[in-house]
Amino acid sequence: FADVRTVMSEMGMAMMGSSSASGDGRARQAAEAAISSPFLEDVNLSGARGILVNITAGLDMSIGEFEEVGNVVRELASPDACVVIGTVIDPDLSDDMRVTVVATGLDQKPAKSPHSRPAERPLEVVRTGTDPYKHYEQPTVIRQERTRDPLPAYRDSDMEYLEIPAFLRRQAD
């Protein structure tokens, strides 16, 4: 849920697309179909600032397919986008792969670089000498000192029982 919160915090318009494919090239087919959903004809996905991807496949999914989906998704994202990709292995899916994409921060103006911000000047505080310092002389909390009990002195004879392993001491009890 933290990944969902991170991606959704990018604000702006969001889109969700899902698709499945099977056979050779299923990773690219499913990713491209999820991105180009027919419901999203008027939506420009390039420059998405937050993207959450879920890949669901069977035990036959390879790392190459995982990377393929990631590469297809990263092509549409802005360079500074937060892209989170997760996988779910479903043994019931033998040859199928499902890809779900949630993209946020669409149609936003690119965020300004932190280097392009004008430098903020610290607020200057001018003291006039009229501050009431009298109340600083009294502590806000007065601590009560506790008397500490002296630690009991242990003799070497009291510590001899530690030389016997704990499991043997328990059996003796």
Query: What tens digit of pLDDT does each residue of 17-59 get?
Result: 889 999 899 999 998 888 887 666 566 667 777 888 999 999 8
Identify the H or E element spanning 85: strand 77-89
pLDDT at position 161 over 60: yes
Check residue 61 and report its DSSP letter: -
With contact defined as beta carbons under 8 Å apart, do 61 and 97 qualify? Answer: yes
Burial class for 145, CB neighbours closer than 10 Å (0-12, 13-18, 19+) = exposed
Q: Which domains does the chain have, with CATH numbers?
A: 2-106 (3.30.1330.20)
Within 90-165, strands assigned E span 96-106
pLDDT tens-digit map of 90-141? 888 888 999 998 888 776 555 444 444 555 556 555 555 565 666 566 666 6
pLDDT at 114: 47
pLDDT at 164: 83
pTM to 2 decimal places: 0.57
pLDDT at 155: 63
